[in-house]
């Protein structure tokens, strides 16, 4: 799939795998392996942004993947996010869609929606919001394949 297809069809919370098509180098080649890992990986789709026109240039549409966190003693120190624009030469695929019944914790700002957390249940989502302190977050239950909302409309946190 192309990056455009991901923006058009993949739901927030999906696991997206991307690759440049090259084979993985042996572990003994640490620099080559690090370069390969920058172009081959997997992340959770957390944000989609439309193209934006500025006076001197136009930013292409893009999406952002959450690739992981580095933590110490239960405290997240660094969050790894990677953005890809529609003109990316990488090949993308949806590795896993969010399961029906899971709950997206979303935050709306600047005309965009960002996925903060994907919880297994409504209770888990509410506990996560209480722990993290997002007052303006909203909850959305992941729908089934037919596109019907499981359990009703969006819920405000």
Q: How far is CA 143 from CA 21, 61, 116, in A?
A: 33, 25, 18
**Residues paired with residue 118 on neighbouring β-strands, in sequence order:** 104
Q: With a cut of 70, say whether residue 148 has pLDDT above it.
A: no
- For residue 112, is it left (φ>0), alpha (ψ between -120 and 50) or beta? beta
pLDDT at 149 over 50: no
Q: How confident is the model at residue 144 (pLDDT cuts 50, 70, 90)?
A: confident
SS3 75: strand
Instruction: Say what percent of the chain tops pLDDT 70.
Output: 92
pLDDT in tens, 29-40: 999 999 999 899
Q: Which tokens in the block code for residue 37? A: 């890992």
User: Residue 151 — very low, low, confident or very high, per pLDDT cuts 50/70/90?
Assistant: very low
Contacts of 155 (CB under 8 A, 6+ apart): 122, 138, 139, 140, 141
- Look up the pTM and report it: 0.83
Q: Residue ranges of the domains in the chain?
A: 1-97, 99-145
The pLDDT tens digits of the residues spanning 63-119 come to 999 998 898 888 888 999 999 999 999 999 999 999 999 999 999 988 889 999 999
Non-local (6+) Cβ contacts of 145 within 8 A are: 100
């Amino acid at each position: 799939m192309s990056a455009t297809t991901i923006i058009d069809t993949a739901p927030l919370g999906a696991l997206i795998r991307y690759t440049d098509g090259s084979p993985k180098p042996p572990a003994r080649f640490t620099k080559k392996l690090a370069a390969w890992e920058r172009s081959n990986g997997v992340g959770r789709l957390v944000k989609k942004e439309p193209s934006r026109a500025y006076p001197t240039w136009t930013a292409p549409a893009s999406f952002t993947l959450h690739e992981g966190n580095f933590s110490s003693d239960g405290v997240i120190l660094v969050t790894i996010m990677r953005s890809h624009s529609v003109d990316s030469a990488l090949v993308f695929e949806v590795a896993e869609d969010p399961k029906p019944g899971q709950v997206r914790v979303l935050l709306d700002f600047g005309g965009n929606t960002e996925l903060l957390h994907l919880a297994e249940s409504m209770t888990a989502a509410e506990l996560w919001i209480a722990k993290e302190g997002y007052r303006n977050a909203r909850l959305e239950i992941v729908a089934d394949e037919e596109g019907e909302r499981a359990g009703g409309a969006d819920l405000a946190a």
